[in-house]
């Protein structure tokens, strides 16, 4: 099963990393790498995740993440890693 | 790992700059459907298309969700219908079956109601071409094309003469909808077998049984990248376009690989095209204006377009393992907000568009002309465009809409086909030239062997 990039962008507040990684844990998704910064006052984080033991389909995981994003007021997306490697690596 | 800037760049291209995959087109051979009996033929065509393409739309939607980039159109192209109805005639029945398949599968267009008559016309091909107006009037999603010339064969002027009449007849038969039938009919020189774009897609006879061809897009992305290098010299402009074209094409390559794998089809080609849509921020005209011509159609337009077209190819070729189709910037007037505005102002004229077709794909495309334009004038437009294509060894095409009952104003087609100001034309009669018929011989450099 493929790997994906979860990106989280929004106003900084307490507990964003905890909530997102908590949900990923519940969904059986392993986080392999995290990169996080504040860009133009926005909390910005990307996570490389492994979906091989994920509970549910790619789309259902996206929906769960979207739901959490709405709840805590940040934008959360998950996309296959290959689109970024295709575009940004030769 | 991919870094944050790269993720943001990709997602901004989608959310703010209209990056999308314009079309995933499945090419399906109908040669094994041929029969002496029209009903058997229709049944076989229906069964084959449904069997091959039933998952096309869900698979494309699934891939789009996974990569986070929209796949706007899903389409089907088939073997030129004139070949599969050679024994049976009654081609309109096949058009109706294709339309039914499109509706069942949920694709927006089916291409291939086509004939390849670049050198000569058999009696059944001539009969087929005469059914095009009826077929386009009776169907919603069927697209038609006719190849009337090639660099190897010259130009079949009998077919050119006939197509002028067929365009007029199609306009008449669909007059209650601003002659929309003509928006689905294109006349080619040097037509390609693996074009994923409509209205000119058909599945060439040299192709495999079932293939996936992908057309990429992204004029908005190119325009935004060029805004970052305002004032820089043209080498920088070309390099910027190349870099962005590489990235855009990589998306197409990934989608082509994934969709062909999941659909059990062969990977055909990625078409390196910049295809505009009528929405703001998705215009090829705006790129030319960003390079530095105040309004598309002014002097300098052709040079800017040549630079753009060439840089898109150079960037895209390395990004894809198989490049094909039309591969060039499109300039369909009704589908590009910048072209529409310039044509309405009277700055972009037909003569400039004709010059532009000499250095990009594909031809006089989606141009509304006065409803009283004669069939001979339309044939002569086709002859001129064919000459540009045949002599320059490139594809050219004519998709003009003589809007029945309107000689000025605007024609409305809706959706992706947009709206088009009716452009004035030079109406000097070429009737004696068109009446001659026969063939314009192949150019000297067709004889390479």
User: Averaged over B388-414, what is the pLDDT?
Assistant: 93
Q: Is the pLDDT of residue B255 over 80?
A: yes
The tally of domains found in chain A comes to 1
pLDDT of residue A27: 96
- Mean pLDDT value of segment B377-383: 98
Instruction: Please judge whether B68 and A79 are an interchain contact, meaning their C-beta atoms are less than 8 angstroms apart.
Output: yes
Query: CA of B221, closest CA in chain A: separation in Å?
Result: 13
Chain B residues with beta carbon closer than 8 angstroms to that of A58:
62, 65-66
Select from A44, A62, A87 the Cβ nearest to the Cβ of B251.
A87
For residue B361, pLDDT over 80 is answered with: no
The per-residue pLDDT for B176 is 94
For the cut 80, the answer to whether the pLDDT of residue B376 exceeds it is yes
Q: How far is B310 from chain A (nearest CA, A)?
A: 20
Q: pLDDT (tens digit, 9 = 90+) per residue, B217-254?
A: 889 999 999 999 999 999 999 999 999 999 999 999 99
User: How many C-beta neighbours within 10 Å does residue B133 have?
Assistant: 24
What is the average pLDDT across B353-358? 96
Predicted confidence band of residue B128 (pLDDT cuts 50, 70, 90): very high
What are the residues facing B214 on neighbouring strands?
B24, B270
User: Which of these ranges, A1-10, A43-52, B139-148, B312-321, has the smallest mean pLDDT?
Assistant: A1-10
Q: Which two tokens stand for residue B17?
A: 């700059």
Question: In this model, does residue A1 exceed pLDDT 60?
Answer: no
pLDDT(B111) > 60: yes
Report ipTM for this prediction: 0.92
Give residue B15's pLDDT band: very low, low, confident or very high (50, 70, 90).
confident
For residue A62, the chain B residues in CB contact (below 8 A) are 65
A46 contacts B4? CB cut-off 8 A: yes
| Contact across the interface for A79 and B4, Cβ inside 8 Å | no
Q: Do A81 and B2 touch (CB under 8 A)?
A: yes
Give the Cα separation of A5 and A16 in Å (integer).
16
**CB-CB neighbors (< 8 A) of A59 in chain B:** 62, 65
Burial class (CB in 10 A: 0-12, 13-18, 19+), B84: buried
CATH number at residue A27: 3.30.70.260
**B141 touching A (Cβ < 8 Å):** no
Residue B48 makes CB contacts below 8 A (sequence gap 6+) with: B28, B30, B32, B33
> What was the pLDDT predicted at B439?
98
Burial classification of residue B197, based on how many CB atoms lie within 10 Å of its CB (0-12 exposed, 13-18 middle, 19 or more buried): buried
- Average pLDDT over chain B, rounded to whole? 95
pLDDT band with cut points at 50, 70 and 90 for residue B391: very high
Domain span holding position A11: 3-88
Residue A80 burial by Cβ neighbours in a 10 Å radius (0-12, 13-18, 19+): buried
Closest chain B residue to A86, measured at CA: B250
Cβ neighbors of B78 (< 8 A, separation 6 or more) are B27, B28, B29, B30, B45, B49, B98, B110, B111, B112, B202, B203
Edge-to-edge strand ranges of the sheet holding A74-80: A30-39, A42-50, A3-11, A74-80
What does the pLDDT average to over B138-144?
Answer: 97
What was the pLDDT predicted at B304? 97
Q: What residues in B contact A77, CB-CB < 8 Å?
A: 11, 68
Whose structure tokens read 């870099």?
A: B243
Residue B286 has pLDDT above 80, yes or no: yes
Looking at the DSSP assignment, which residues form a beta bridge with residue A3?
Answer: A50
A90–chain B nearest CA distance, Å: 8
pLDDT tens sequence across B33-58 = 999 999 999 999 999 999 999 999 99
- What is the per-residue pLDDT for B157? 98
Per-residue confidence band for B423, with pLDDT thresholds at 50, 70 and 90: very high
User: Is residue B102's pLDDT more than 80?
Assistant: yes
Average the pLDDT over B140-154 and give the result. Answer: 98
């Amino acid at each position: 099963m493929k790997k994906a990039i979860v990106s989280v962008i929004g106003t900084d507040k307490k507990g964003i990393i905890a909530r997102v990684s908590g949900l990923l844990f519940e969904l059986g998704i392993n986080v392999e790498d995290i990169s996080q910064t504040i860009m133009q006052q926005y909390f910005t984080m990307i996570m490389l995740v492994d979906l091989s033991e994920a509970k549910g389909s790619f789309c259902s995981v996206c929906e769960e993440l979207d739901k959490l994003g709405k709840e805590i007021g940040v934008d959360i997306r998950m996309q296959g890693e290959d689109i970024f490697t295709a575009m940004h690596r030769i | 790992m991919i870094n944050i800037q790269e993720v943001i760049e990709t997602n901004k291209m989608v959310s703010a700059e209209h990056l999308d995959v314009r079309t995933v087109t499945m090419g399906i051979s109908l040669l094994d459907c041929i029969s002496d009996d029209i009903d058997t033929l229709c049944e076989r065509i229906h069964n084959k298309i449904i069997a091959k393409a039933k998952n096309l739309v869900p698979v494309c939607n699934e891939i789009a969700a996974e990569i986070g980039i929209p796949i706007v159109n899903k389409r089907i192209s088939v073997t030129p219908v004139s070949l599969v109805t050679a024994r049976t005639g009654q081609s309109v029945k096949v058009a109706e079956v294709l339309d039914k398949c499109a509706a069942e599968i949920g694709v927006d267009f089916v291409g291939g109601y086509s004939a390849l008559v670049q050198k000569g016309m058999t009696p059944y091909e001539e009969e087929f071409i005469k059914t095009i107006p009826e077929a386009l009037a009776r169907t919603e999603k069927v697209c038609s094309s006719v190849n009337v010339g090639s660099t190897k064969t010259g130009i079949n002027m009998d077919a050119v003469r006939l197509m002028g009449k067929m365009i007029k007849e199609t306009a008449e038969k669909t007059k209650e909808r601003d002659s929309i039938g003509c928006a689905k009919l294109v006349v080619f020189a040097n037509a390609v077998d693996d074009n994923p774009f409509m209205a000119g897609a058909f599945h060439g006879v040299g192709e495999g049984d079932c293939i996936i061809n992908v057309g990429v897009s992204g004029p908005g992305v190119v325009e935004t990248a060029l805004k970052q290098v305002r004032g820089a010299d043209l080498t920088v402009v070309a390099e910027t376009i190349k870099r962005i074209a590489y990235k855009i094409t990589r998306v197409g390559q990934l989608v082509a690989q994934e969709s062909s794998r999941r659909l059990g089809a062969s990977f055909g080609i990625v078409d390196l095209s910049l295809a505009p849509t009528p929405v703001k921020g998705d215009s090829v005209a705006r790129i030319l204006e960003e390079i530095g011509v105040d309004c598309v159609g002014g002097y300098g337009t052709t040079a800017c377009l040549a630079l753009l077209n060439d840089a898109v190819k150079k960037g895209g070729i390395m990004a894809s393992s198989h490049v094909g189709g039309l591969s060039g910037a499109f300039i369909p007037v009704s589908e590009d907000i910048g072209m529409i505005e310039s044509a309405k102002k009277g700055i972009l004229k037909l003569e400039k568009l004709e010059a532009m077709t000499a250095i990009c794909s594909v031809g006089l495309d989606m141009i509304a002309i006065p409803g009283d334009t004669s069939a001979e004038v339309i044939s002569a437009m086709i002859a001129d465009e064919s000459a540009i294509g045949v002599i320059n060894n490139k594809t050219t095409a004519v998709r003009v809409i003589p809007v029945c009952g309107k000689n000025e104003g605007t024609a409305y087609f809706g959706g992706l086909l947009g709206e088009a100001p009716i452009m004035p034309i030079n109406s000097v009669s070429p009737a004696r030239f068109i009446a001659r018929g026969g063939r314009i011989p192949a150019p000297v450099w067709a004889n390479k062997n």
